[in-house]
Structure 1
């Protein structure tokens, strides 16, 4: 099967596994989370090998160069061969991941949903300064 000359941007993002569905890809493109060559793109924009994309997906921000085209979603190994992420983008994602791991967590392990009667009384006692 021959490789297509140009592919719609939303189809390629879906095939490259940046988004789980084409409709999520279209929503992200329309919201301005995908830039082609430094400019906002439209879902039907034709993508060619050599184009550069900046993608803000739920799992991170990527800056990639398109290496190959595909209209079909395949295995993850095949999807990774469709693009090459820039080294600056990889370093920035790694730095964000480290910052997030080092950020303080303010969630109390016992608090899920509504407080229990005991927990509420402890909170009220603390707020009044009695304890």
Structure 2
């Protein structure tokens, strides 16, 4: 599983729908749509070394950094400031992130050809973000 490196957002689907089930306010929903648009230059840097996980999400005006170990809970702010407890694990060639706290969701991150795909699912709704390696 080769996910390490810097990845640039190239597409995002179902952002308004996932915001609705996550209880995102109308103002923050508009912000989420803007942040996940192709012109936002959103990136994420991933470094997985054994059980160590380091992820840096860069979105306009905000950087979110996570340093943890597989299987250990870590606190993480959502883009709108709500706090989550996240636990990362490996399932085959996928990195799975279980999120609890302000809402419950599961992120599954995997390679699809040369791209990185992140699927977030909550209450039966899935958003898919696709990234190209920089």
Decide which structure has greater strand share. 2
TM normalised by structure 1 equals 0.28
Greater RCO structure (CA 8 Å; 6+ sep): 2
TM normalised by structure 2 equals 0.28
